[in-house]
Amino acid sequence: MTKRGDATADESWPDICGRVTLSPVSVLKASHHGRKSGYHQPAVKALSPWLTITSVGQTEHDATESYRQYSEHTVSLRDAGDIRITINDDGKWSYEPNISLHWKSKKAHLQVPPPPPPPAWLR
């Protein structure tokens, strides 16, 4: 069954993932404006975009942090306003400076190092 409109996490994305093989992309315009109801982790992980664009207005519905786990960068139109990405005939693309002023880098899953030992005079 083909669905039309925004892809939702519960209905559309499982159907899409069952029909096509998803591969990495450069730019992803987040499903359903970047709302939590449109975020589908297996699809975003497979797409592993360099940049994900979200435009959700209400922070309580915003899935930008979830997209950030699998995207090198995310940008919210709530912060950046209108943005422009240009794709040339040769496949090269460019973006307006306001994107990079507002994007956030991928979440790093770093281990916190243990604290240094106390100085010798405290031992």
Query: What residue segments make up the domains of the chain, in order of their start?
Result: 12-102
* Residues composing the chain: 123
* pTM of structure: 0.74
Where is pLDDT greater, at 47 or 81?
47
Alpha helices in the chain (DSSP H): 12-19, 41-47, 64-68, 77-80, 97-102
pLDDT at residue 121, rounded to an integer: 52
- Nearest-angstrom CA–CA distance, 51 and 67: 9
pLDDT digits (tens, 9 = 90+) for 5-31: 566 667 788 888 888 898 998 889 888
